[in-house]
Amino acid sequence: MMKKPLLLIALFLVIQALPAQTFRAAVVKTDITPDNSQQLLGYGARKSTGINDRIYHRAAVMDDGKTRFVLVSSDICVIAPSEYDKVAARLQKELGIAPENFWWSLTHTHSAPELGPPGLPEAFMSERYTHQYDVKYTEETESKLVSAVADAIKKLEPARLSVGWGHSNANINRRARDGKGKTYLGLNPDLPVDRRIGMLRLERPDGSAIAIIANYAMHGTVIGGECTLISGDAPGIVADYVEQKTGAAMLFINGAAGNIAPIYSTQPTPFRLKEFEPLLGDRILEANAKMTASSADVVFKTGGTIVETPRREGLKWPAYMNHYTGKASSGIDVVKLPVRFLKINKDIAIWSAPLELFCEISNEVRDRSPFPYTFYYGYTNGWLGYLLTDEEFPYGGYETTVTPFKPGAGRDLINGVLGYIEGQMRKP
């Protein structure tokens, strides 16, 4: 007669001894396609005349029980760091998200509307920004981001996380050279590239996917400046394709694409966009299929550092971005470059910066990192221009005209990032 109660008690004690499921995740996708003509960012000043494909915020919220981390991927070219600061302050006030736990990553499509004040681009190309940015569209897009994060928080559910690598040949170095060493925008198969896909997958306990986060370096410039249709370009087309195939949301997170173009670039029409479904989309699907091990035991550690590096002379810095510049003890002007870090368990290190970074720099960080999975999330939390390697500065080219940095900045960044990864990130 006593056996059944004793069995129930034993079962209760076993359940109590099991580790609690604390990791939760959710993703919300929100349409940010404007319903009117907008100034497009990327290439020269021009206004949209229609829509090729719709553009979105995709907001992922992950919670390990102690830290709530927000990653947003938006089909936008770039934003000023001050625009990120504005939205980060709102998320902190309304939803209690600490700024270091909110990363806003842009896919870098060149066929999306401007969002907020121009930031550093007006210092490089003042003639390009003689118009007032669309305040209404900016405010609506900001509010949609905050609402998406709030909705994702409400939808948090038990989750598991897996990690892996993929590979795609959809990109190529774009620093073309002529016979005299002059550099211009084009295609150059002889210079460095990064073709690895850094993969994260969020899934439910039953194995069904919540979201795929794919990190790949590639300019959003399949469509050229002659076309005035709004589009997510290849990143948006690939994300939609993977979503259709898997039923899960896909966040495209660009990498160190400062010197990397899509293999079909600046086309006069969108007709080649669909080719990136097999070129990159299928490679993401293959990498996703290979990620079999997942875990509900997830621990986050976030942090950040400021890398100070000398600022280029003669640059008229916008006053509303003074937080990102200053003077060193020696009296020289410096750029204050914010770098964020996310450690997941003991094997994943992710770092981000508001840069168009040359791929050699992120490649070196990855190669030297003690973490087996080291990802760089570019175009994140704003835009502070191109950051070149010292080797490429002497060749000139477009990128040297839109950088606030001087030679040596690449090494300053590598030292700062690796110092943090090998120090703070390796601590328990």
| pLDDT, tens digit (0-9, with 9 covering 90-100), for 240-287 | 999 999 999 999 999 999 999 999 999 999 999 999 999 999 999 999
Map residue 425 onto helix, strand or coil.
Answer: helix
For residue 127, what pLDDT is reported?
86
Which tokens sit at 147?
Answer: 């609402």
The whole domain housing 261 covers 24-290
Q: Are residues 310 and 362 in the same domain?
A: yes
For residue 180, what pLDDT is reported?
86
Q: Are residues 171 and 236 in the same domain?
A: yes
Of 270, 290, 310, the position where a domain reaches its end is: 290
Burial (CB < 10 A; 0-12, 13-18, 19+), residue 386, is buried
Place of tokens 């080649």: 272
Of 290, 322, 346, the position where a domain reaches its end is: 290
Per-residue pLDDT tens digits for 291-314: 988 999 999 999 999 999 999 999
Asked whether residue 10 carries a pLDDT value surpassing 90, the answer given is: no
Q: Are residues 82 and 184 in the same domain?
A: yes
Q: Are residues 261 and 318 in the same domain?
A: no
Residue 236 belongs to a domain:
yes
For residue 16, what pLDDT is reported?
46
* Residue 370 banded pLDDT, cuts 50, 70, 90: very high
Q: Are residues 267 and 304 in the same domain?
A: no
Per-residue pLDDT tens digits for 410-421: 999 999 999 999
Q: Helix axis angle, 135-154 relative to 81-95, nearest 10°?
A: 40
Tell me the CA distances in angstroms from 271 to 224, 317, 401, one per residue in order. 11, 39, 31
Q: Are residues 215 and 278 in the same domain?
A: yes
Asked whether residue 8 carries a pLDDT value surpassing 90, the answer given is: no
Tell me the CA distances in angstroms from 397 to 77, 183, 247, 354, 392, one per residue in order. 21, 5, 42, 21, 9
Q: Are residues 327 and 380 in the same domain?
A: yes
Asked whether residue 162 carries a pLDDT value surpassing 50, the answer given is: yes
- The string over 141-171, giving b where at least 16 C-beta atoms fall within 10 Å of a residue's C-beta and e elsewhere, is bbebbbebbbebbeeeeebbbbbbebebebb
Residue 14 belongs to a domain:
no
* Residue 18 banded pLDDT, cuts 50, 70, 90: very low
- DSSP string computed for 313-373: TT----GGGGGGEEE-TTS-EEEEEEEEEEEETTTEEEEE-SSEE-HHHHHHHHHH-SSSE
Residue 272 belongs to a domain:
yes
Per-residue pLDDT tens digits for 323-361: 999 999 899 999 999 999 999 999 999 999 999 999 999
Q: Are residues 67 and 138 in the same domain?
A: yes
Per-residue pLDDT tens digits for 43-58: 999 999 999 999 999 9
Per-residue pLDDT tens digits for 123-158: 998 888 988 999 999 999 999 999 999 999 999 999
* Residue 5 banded pLDDT, cuts 50, 70, 90: low
Instruction: Please say whether the beta carbons of 241 and 284 come within 8 A.
Output: no
pTM recorded for the entire structure: 0.94
Residue 2 belongs to a domain:
no
* Residue 179 banded pLDDT, cuts 50, 70, 90: confident
Q: Are residues 204 and 311 in the same domain?
A: no
Residue 365 belongs to a domain:
yes
Phi then psi for residue 319, to 5 deg, are: -60, -35
Residue 3 belongs to a domain:
no
Closest by Cα among 85, 138, 147, 144 to 112: 138
* Residue 223 banded pLDDT, cuts 50, 70, 90: very high
Q: Are residues 81 and 190 in the same domain?
A: yes
Residue 17 belongs to a domain:
no
Which tokens sit at 46?
Answer: 């021009």
Residue 142 belongs to a domain:
yes
Map residue 64 onto helix, strand or coil.
Answer: coil
Cα–Cα distance, 34 to 44 (Å, whole number): 20
Of 267, 290, 313, the position where a domain reaches its end is: 290
Q: Are residues 28 and 144 in the same domain?
A: yes
Q: Are residues 342 and 399 in the same domain?
A: yes
Average the pLDDT over 70-87 and give the result: 98
The domain tally of the chain equals 2
